[in-house]
Amino acid sequence: MRRRSVLAAVATGALAGCATSDDDQTQGTTTSEAPPPVPDTPGNDWERSGSRPDWERAADRRIDEHRRTELTVAADAGVEVEVAMLAPAYQFSTAYNVARHRALPDGHPYREWVGRLFTDAVFENAYKWRRWLQPGTHEEMHDVMTFLRERGVQVSGAPVVWQRRTEDVVPARVWDAVDAGRPDRVAALVDDHVRDLVGHWVGDHGVTEWVLVNEPLDANALARTIAPGDDRTSPAPVREWFRVANDAAPDGRYGVNEYDILAKDRPAYRDDYAALVEYLTDGDAPPDEVAFQGHTMGAAETVSADELLARLDRFAGLGDHDLVVSEFDTPGFASEQAAGDYLYRFLKTVYSHPDTVSFRLWGYWDGQHWRDDAPLFREDFSKKPGYHAYANLVFDQWWTREAGALTDGAFSTTADLGRYRITVRGDDWERHVVATVTDPSGVTVRVPTP
């Protein structure tokens, strides 16, 4: 099992592309003759009404403990230090549509905003089994993947297996085998698909984060065909798919994903998901991630910050895995302001939980959203309150840019965990390092100087 928190320093540090320092006080420090540019972070007009409520004060305390660190910059010479964040350690993600991207011209806001707002994207439909087999799909995905990576957006994958017949995501030949009562044929087809998809993308293209199985409690027709006697909380075929994926692409990280766990009040459904997670965790290839969709269709489906934390705590305690919000949105609220307020509370609470590693919006623009009601932008790309909530949290509250004087060869500041450009300046010179800062207990970065 591969916790993303353990891999973060290696993965983020590799982005710098420079020689790594041997200084054992640093995390992924690299020297840089031509330093990477500091992002122009998006602005926002989020306004707080009154003082922080109790839930937010508690969340801020957890964020201080788990998402920030004391960063010390050490140098033998110099006058001034600048600490500028390049990217967060936490993954802020979105669904992104390959077909819509290709239909829009260069410079369209849908294309431009993805690189400004997110560090990761998952293709909304292109990975789905039936779509994956269509001629030209691979080449189209490769083109869009290149576009995203050139803008600093990594690409994740979802879903590998989604067994919902009504969504037309599984090829007809698989349903033919189901209808013919041929469990061995169904098992072979699914296993081959898992090997092909993750083998191609993990091995050849470095797409390592995957929702392997989507909605297995409710959409389980293939597993039931292969093992008709299994309960939905203990399906042997799903365990097998995790083993097949790990064997085919050991560098991948694979998760299970379910809906109505962080929304609504369905305790029996949550119990079943917890039982399924425990069952998978006891297998030979346990999930690396446990994911929750997060679709919230109006005020009646919201949960309090305390209840949200309790649900996250429960699933964190079921095994050594990371937690991921995989598909959050807010269609159906009575007002955009109410939707934005809930996004703010939900995201801040999730971010404050130490076992979460990623938050994904299921789209950001009304013009490309499954309910035509995305969290951030209206059809004309005017900004909703949800945009201002999101940008305020990610780019104001959780983004560090500090400067100050060296005192006795050191400068210290509180820093949000992430990747940084650190600059030390003298009277007529400056030196830069790129450093990965992911240890909440404290990080020291030494900058070589003349």
Token pair recorded at residue 287: 């999930």
Residue 29's pLDDT is what? 65
Mean pLDDT of residues grouped by 10 in the chain (450 residues)? 50 30 49 78 87 96 98 95 98 98 97 98 96 92 96 97 96 98 98 96 92 98 98 98 97 98 98 98 97 97 98 98 98 97 98 98 98 98 98 98 96 98 95 96 95
Residue 261: strand, helix, or coil: coil
Q: What amino acid is encoded at 280 in this protein?
A: L
Within 10 Å of residue 306's Cβ, how many Cβ atoms? 12
Listing DSSP states for 185-207 in one string gives: HHHHHHHHHHHHHHIIIIIHH--
Residue 329's pLDDT is what? 98
Residue 416 forms beta bridges with which residues? 68
Q: Are 406 and 75 in contact (CB under 8 A)?
A: yes
Token pair recorded at residue 334: 């009575």
Query: Is this model's pTM higher than 0.85 or not?
Result: yes
Long-range contacts at 390-393 (CB < 8 A, ≥ 24 apart): 390/44, 390/117, 390/343, 390/347, 390/361, 391/42, 391/43, 391/44, 391/46, 391/117, 392/44, 392/46, 392/344, 393/344, 393/347, 393/348, 393/351
Listed residue (102, 113, 171) closest to 141, CA to CA: 102
Within 10 Å of residue 169's Cβ, how many Cβ atoms? 20
